């Protein structure tokens, strides 16, 4: 009996398609990369909002005296000075006498409070993050110098209680501000994209 071969009939055995497998792997990698990007964007947006709240709350508490860092009745609107207590208590560092001179000055109070408000609003809204980073970093640098972590002893000889010769929370806040501006963290959960499309922002990149 003759056996007829059928060249077009499948034997039922197939080698794996490396092309399809590769495409599927690339698709899966793209999904993972997209999910990671989204998660990163939301984490940075959350960090931006929390940092913005820190600055805004400091402004509000010092203005109205909510009883946290600023006692009730000692707020800015009650005639209190937002800078006098902090700057007059500086007891170490190369700018000690300078800070004592600035303590309670009207220009220092206004500049400090406008800085807190401006940085807080910018971070919360997700706009002008580059400008906020510059202003906020300058504020943090001055406050770092006022506390002067390198000093083991204060000017009166007492122990400073400094826990680190360089890094403290002021530097951390400064780095956070710079990082949020670099990654455009205002584009997620913020008005960053809308802000960037405004004509005066497009022509002045430093406002981004």
Read off the pLDDT of residues 160-193 as tens digits, 9 standing for 90 and up: 999 999 999 999 999 999 999 999 999 999 999 9
| Per-residue pLDDT band at 13 (split at 50, 70, 90) | very low
Q: Is the pLDDT of residue 5 over 60?
A: no
Element (H, E) at 81: none
Q: How confident is the model at residue 34 (pLDDT cuts 50, 70, 90)?
A: confident
Query: Is 153's pLDDT higher than 90?
Result: yes
Q: With left for phi above 0 and alpha for psi between -120 and 50, is residue 104 left, alpha or beta?
A: left
């Amino acid at each position: 009996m003759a056996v007829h071969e059928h060249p077009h009939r499948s034997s039922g055995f197939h080698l794996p398609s490396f092309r399809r497998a590769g495409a599927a792997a690339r698709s899966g990698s793209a999904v993972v990369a997209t999910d990671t990007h989204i998660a990163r964007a939301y984490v940075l947006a959350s960090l931006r909002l929390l940092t913005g709240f820190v600055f805004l709350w400091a402004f509000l508490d010092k203005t109205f005296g909510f009883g946290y860092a600023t006692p009730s009745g000692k707020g800015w609107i009650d005639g209190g000075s937002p800078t006098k207590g902090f700057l007059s208590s500086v007891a170490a560092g190369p700018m000690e006498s300078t800070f004592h001179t600035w303590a309670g000055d009207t220009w220092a109070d206004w500049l400090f409070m406008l800085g807190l408000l401006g940085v807080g609003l910018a971070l919360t809204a997700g706009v002008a993050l580059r400008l906020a980073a510059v202003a906020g970093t300058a504020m943090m640098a001055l406050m770092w110098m006022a506390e002067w972590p390198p000093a083991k002893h204060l000017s009166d000889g007492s122990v400073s209680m400094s826990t680190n010769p360089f890094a403290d929370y002021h530097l951390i806040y400064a780095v956070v501000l710079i990082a949020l501006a670099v990654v455009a963290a205002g584009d997620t959960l913020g008005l960053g994209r809308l802000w960037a499309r405004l004509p005066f922002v497009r022509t002045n990149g430093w406002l981004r």
